């Protein structure tokens, strides 16, 4: 399996495409986290789901990172 690397721009793009990630990020920001930190935390939730990992990697493969 390919190594999964966190890229802020990729997570921003992923958030635009995924309602769940948008919900998580908005909720974390409401709880006092910065947008960047909320995206990083959301990335860690992506790692627990094989399908989410595949979608995130497709964004990176498109060169949008």
Instruction: Tell me how far apart the alpha carbons of residues 53 and 24 are, in angstroms, rounded to a whole number.
Output: 16
Q: Check residue 63 and give its pLDDT.
A: 67
pTM: predicted TM-score of the whole model, two decimal places: 0.86
Q: Is 12 exposed, middle or buried (0-12, 13-18, 19+ CB in 10 A)?
A: middle
Per-residue pLDDT at 61 = 85
The answer, yes or no, to whether residue 65 has pLDDT greater than 80, is: no
Supply the pLDDT for residue 53: 94
Per-residue model confidence as pLDDT tens digits over 9-50:
999 999 999 999 999 999 999 999 999 999 999 999 999 999
pLDDT of 3 reads: 84
């Amino acid at each position: 399996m390919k190594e999964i690397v966190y890229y802020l721009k990729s997570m921003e793009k992923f958030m635009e495409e995924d309602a769940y990630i948008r919900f998580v990020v908005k909720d974390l920001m409401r709880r006092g986290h910065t947008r960047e930190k909320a995206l990083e935390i959301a990335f860690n939730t992506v790692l627990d789901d094989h399908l989410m990992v595949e979608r995130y990697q497709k964004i990176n493969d498109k060169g949008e990172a």
